[in-house]
Amino acid sequence: MIFKCKRCGICCKNIYTAFSMATDVERWEREGRRDILLQLDDVGRMWVDPVTKEPIIGDCPFLKQDLPGYYSCKLQHTKPTMCRNFKPSKFNASNLGCKGYEDAK
C-alpha cells in the first residue's frame, strides 16, 4: 500500500520530543529566523514558549491551517531536519491516527 499525504497535520500535532540539530540552528541564524530561534531551549529542544521556555504541549507552532482539515508547514523551505527526515510508515500512521494509507492510490 502506498502512502498519500492528505495534509491532515496529524504528524505535526501533539509534538512532545522534537529536537533541532546544530545545522538547523546555524541555518536559521544565517537566515535571520529569530522567530524560530526564540522557540528553542538551551539544548535545542523544539518548541518552547519564547518567554517561559516551558515546552509547548500540542501542535507545532508553525503548523498552519489552510482550510478546515487541511494543513501546511510555515517552515516548509527551512523546516527542521527532524521534520524533513520524517518518513511516513504504516506503523506511525496507525499510531498517530493518520489516514494516509487508507484508499491511497
Domain-located, residue 2? no
Q: Rounded to 5 degrees, what are φ and ψ at 36?
A: -80, -50
Q: Kindly state whether residue 57 falls inside one of the protein's structural domains.
A: yes
* 61 within 8 A of 54, measured Cβ to Cβ: no
List pLDDT tens digits, range 49-96. Answer: 888 888 888 889 999 999 998 999 999 999 999 888 888 788 878 888
Residue 64 host element (H or E): strand 63-67
18 domain residue, yes or no: yes
Identify which of 62, 78, 86 has the alpha carbon closest to the alpha carbon of residue 27.
78
* Residue 1 covered by a domain: no
Is residue 101 included in any domain, yes or no?
Answer: no
* pLDDT in the model for residue 16: 67
Asked if the model's pLDDT at residue 104 lies above 60, the reply is no
C-alpha cell at 22: 546544530
Number of domains in the chain: 1
Residue 30 located in a structural domain: yes
The pLDDT tens digits for 5-30 are 889 998 888 776 678 889 999 999 99
Q: Is residue 31 part of a domain?
A: yes
Name the residue range of residue 49's domain: 10-96
The reported pTM is 0.81
